[in-house]
Structure 1
């Protein structure tokens, strides 16, 4: 049996491979400290868990659900966007709940891309943008993000890609992963203007806007953005609900209807108690975000110490749940330092090269771990 041609050039997700290796090392007694993956280790708010428990006990909540999600959840997303982003959304037509925003990336690619359509993807950037576009038949062109330009796109480079032809879709992601770079209103305005000029669908992936950031922004807050842009968001990071798989796609009615044509043939609605618990999570006030960010702020201070131990360079202006840092010149590349730390100190950090060639002189460290784990990682690395 042979696999489909669409899988040619698509490897197993890096972290899927690496976790198996870490499992093997742990079986050998290595006790690896994993600082690579951004999986929140904190629980959701107790009230969110209580809603799930209470609703799950009811006898009438276990049936298939609406493909567009519960009206309660859509209303909660609309209120959330209005309160925190200043974006008004129609509850019935401009909101599509997702089983995690990662599935939304695939749904968007399958909805809009034909064989050979060009997709602009950030380098460095989330690898799923590239793999999902390729699986849908798209051709990837990576636009470079560099530290010297604050990890913002070079619009001259983007214009050059358009002149080469057939650009259909562009992925953007701010606060940016893996670099932690915040957006500016001016950047969002430039992106919307570029998309309008060239009839490009702009897909903004926005899961990190609340983490260590007091000014969450949505691309859709820019005037006219709904004409050319759609936005993905998620409760995985901001509400500590990664395993619950609750995301959302927001945008103009036509875009939501188009994606729903594909999505409705691929899955059904989420378990209703999960949706109702998610609605509760979206109603939480500022004190929730403050409490989460207090923990991440304390952890980030420890990661500064760890990066200093590794003699890396980094900016303290980053937001999100990772730290992005430039490696010392005496290492060949990011993989060399990551392997050295893994095999000599039993600590796993992420080589920046997995996010694209522009990341090959960088590493990424997750803030998802206790203070004690970071202190132990610092001790191990210092000892070596």
Structure 2
């Protein structure tokens, strides 16, 4: 038997890859599963976006290889979007790189900047891909605690007392996934100063800024941030384009060029039609955000009702596409709790533990579920 690479011993199959296979199996058995686990938007992109890709496939050259850096019009649209929404000025020629989803960017950034043995600061709880990619490239995860008592923000004073000499990267995600905590300008300024003092590349993964959030913010708004920071963003959540795989990274020309060296060896450019659709999405009017959030706001009220049915508490000020709920103290295991619900009530909810040990005692509901389905789930607990 051909042996697999040693690096595969450092990671497991992604939780949702495995768990959703189990959920699909239950569905094929006739179980009426209501999936509240994954943040895959069930709503469609705008009509204008769909029409844009339909028209684009007829353009001359639409089906040829595209630039590794994306269409100039797409980079210009991203630059305008960041200037209009965050007051962040970027050079579209050198400081912006479109990606096939921000998840791709996590791998590209890690390959571009990490050597074997380098350490990476990773939030606990946080997006599991930060850990798996770190291990796949031979670097070492170094977790920092996020807890409810610190509003899910790192205690930088405590962190700076640790040995950071081997740390090369630090991942942050604000608005935070999975908790929905927001970062403010003062906190971002402290993060940037911390990164500069310790010569750490700081990356903010920022796909949730416009979902149920009255004050969208960017780490790059901070003065001098580009010297030590990158920011990832995505069209998946904001524009209901998860399956399109469109994201981008912003930062200094030197940092972007390093990522491009990796990316240009990994793919042959994003499909032309998808780029045209992305441009149209980035040009959306305020009505788009208002209407989208109106749907999520209504859904969230019912999710809150469901959380209360389960004896959970939650933060009404949290933002983003999920509701992070604290389990009753009598619940010992979040994973057992959600499995019991899955098999007894045919409702799938995500256990907080998949995001790290600090996720024990919490569960996460997705808002990507139709209102009538949420009501049905509530009725199952009557």
Query: Above 0.5 in TM-score?
Result: yes
Q: 1:323: which partner in 2? A: 323
- Matched with 2:78 is 77
Measured after TM superposition, the shift of residue 54 of structure 1 is 0.6
**Deviation readout 1:74-103 (Å, 9 max, x if unpaired):** 000000000001000001000000000000
**Residue by residue, what CA displacement relative to the aligned partner does 1:37-56 show, whole Å, maximum 9, x if unpaired?**
00000101100000100111
Mapping of residues 2-13 of structure 1, within 5 Å: 2-13=3-14
Q: Aligned partners of 1:113 and 1:206: how far apart in 2?
A: 21
Distance 1:289 1:257 in 2: 32
Report which stretch shifted further, 50-59 or 177-186: 50-59
Residue pairs, 1:1-384, within 5 angstroms = 1-161=2-162, 163=163, 165-382=165-382
Distance 2:290 2:161 in 1: 43
Q: How many residue pairs align between the two structures?
A: 381
What is the CA-CA distance between 1:346 and the residue it aligns to? Answer: 0.4
3-state SS of paired residue (2:323): strand
Shift of 1:381: 2.5
TM-superposition CA deviations, 1:255-294 (whole Å, max 9, x none): 0000101110011211111101100100011111000000
The CA deviation string for residues 88-131 of structure 1, in whole angstroms up to 9 with x for no partner, is 00010000000000000000011111111000000000000010
* 8 Å contact from structure 2 (residues 164, 198) kept in 1: no
Provide the rounded CA distance (Å) in 2 between the counterparts of 1:158 and 1:71.
Answer: 41
Cα distance, 1:165 vs structure 2: 2.7
Q: Is the 8 A contact 1:338 1:348 kept in 2?
A: yes
Aligned counterparts of 1:44 and 1:151: Cα–Cα separation in 2:
31
User: Which runs of 5 or more structure 2 residues have no equivalent in the other structure?
Assistant: none
Q: CA deviation at 1:330?
A: 1.4
1:164 Cα offset (Å) = 5.0
Distance in 2, matches of 1:298 and 1:106, equals 36
Are the counterparts in 2 of residues 341 and 381 from structure 1 also a CA contact under 8 Å?
no
Alpha-carbon separation, structure 2, partners of 1:24 and 1:273: 35
Three-state SS of the structure 2 residue aligned to 1:368 is coil
How far apart are residue 28 of structure 1 and its match? 1.7
Alignment check: 8 A CA contact 2:66 2:271 kept: yes
Q: Contact (CA 8 Å) 1:143, 1:157: kept in 2 or not? A: no
Query: Aligned partners of 1:15, 1:58: CA distance in 2, in Å?
Result: 38
CA distance in structure 1 between the partners assigned to 2:357 and 2:219 by the alignment? 26
> What RMSD in Å do the two structures reach over aligned CA positions?
0.8
Distance in 2 separating the partners of 1:78 and 1:28: 49
> Which secondary structure state, in structure 2, belongs to the residue aligned with residue 248 of structure 1?
strand
Displacement of 1:57 in angstroms is: 2.3
- SS of 1:381 mapped into structure 2: coil
Helix, strand or coil at the partner of 2:270: coil
Contact 2:62 2:273 in 1 (8 A): yes
**SS, match of residue 279 in structure 2:** helix
TM-score normalised per structure 2? 0.98
CA contact (8 A) 2:10 2:136 kept: no
Contact 1:151-1:179 within 8 A present in 2 as well: yes
CA shift, 1:245, in A, is 0.4
Q: Are 1:85 and 1:218, in contact at CA under 8 Å, matched by a contact in 2?
A: yes
CA offsets per residue over residues 331-350 of structure 1, 9 Å max, x none?
11211210111011000000
- Secondary structure of 1:157's aligned partner: helix
Helix, strand or coil at the partner of 2:233: strand
Q: So what's the TM-score if we normalise by structure 1?
A: 0.98
